[in-house]
Amino acid sequence: MRGHDRYEALVGALLLDEATAGERAEFAAHAEGCARCRADATSLGVPLRDFVEAASEHETWRPSLAGDVRARIAESRQKRVRFAVGTLGYAVAASLVINVAFVTGFAGRAIDALRVVPDFRYATTQSITLEHRPPAAVEPAPAMVTIDRVARRVTHVREERSQQKIKTGETAGSRSTSDVIEGLAILNDDGSATRDVAQIARRCASAVDAVFTPEEPCPSPEPR
């Protein structure tokens, strides 16, 4: 306790008439040099308790609260009983509902329905963006094949036609050799490509004659 707080406490003890002889002597020694503490000690001129007692002497009010307190206690008991009965009722009702749900199988179906999540559930939330692109114009490059490959191809086509003739008993139709090798080109020595069907046909024929004998079976075409 700080310096003057101690003497404030001593003044309080004096006002309440609780100060011991030692405390009174201590305060008297301090009060000789402290006017404020002297004024506090005399305070209202009479001891505080006497002042309050004098003011309270005229109080004659005697309220009767017994009936009100009894009614409030009874009300609280009723409230507790109502709460207990209400809680019990709700518990019984909830138990009945749960039991009936399980007995009738409704609960199982409900659980299954909740468990299965269809795939289309989120389909509507996905957006699909279709991009429309025009096809790029690509100029076809002239096909360049070696004579050997062309010859094999031509021979194979010829064989096919002869087989078709055997099967159908008629000619191979409107497809001629020139039609088959049409679109092929011959790469010249200077790098230019020529598209002479007759020349290609001749070269193919000579190549076939040089490579294959009539007794040899037609080789199967190479896989592309």
* Size of interface with other proteins, in residues (CB under 8 A): 42
Q: How many CB atoms lie within 10 A of CB 205?
A: 15
Backbone phi and psi for residue 151, each to the nearest 5 degrees, phi listed first: -65, -45
Segment contacting other proteins (CB under 8 A): 24-32, 66-74, 196-204, 207-215? 66-74
Q: How far is CA 211 from the centre of its chain?
A: 71
Which residue, 56 or 124, is less far from other proteins as judged by CB? Answer: 56
Alpha-carbon span 20 to 120, nearest angstrom:
92
Contacting other proteins (CB under 8 A), which of 25, 29, 32, 72? 72
Minimum gap (Å) between residue 62 Cβ and other proteins: 5
Which residue, 25 or 39, is less far from other proteins as judged by CB? Answer: 39
Asked whether position 9 contacts other proteins by CB under 8 A, the answer is yes
* Element holding 194 (H helix, E strand): strand 193-194
Asked whether position 59 contacts other proteins by CB under 8 A, the answer is yes
Instruction: Pick the closest to residue 41 from 56, 57, 30 (CA basis).
Output: 30
Alpha-carbon span 30 to 212, nearest angstrom:
145
Minimum gap (Å) between residue 4 Cβ and other proteins: 10
Which residue, 74 or 111, is less far from other proteins as judged by CB? Answer: 74
Asked whether position 204 contacts other proteins by CB under 8 A, the answer is no
Minimum gap (Å) between residue 30 Cβ and other proteins: 13
Local structure of 116: helix, strand or coil: coil
User: Which token pair is 164?
Assistant: 């078709």
What's the length of the chain? 224
List contacts with other proteins (CB under 8 A).
1, 5-6, 8-13, 15-16, 18, 38-40, 42-45, 48-49, 51-52, 54-66, 68-70, 72-73, 76
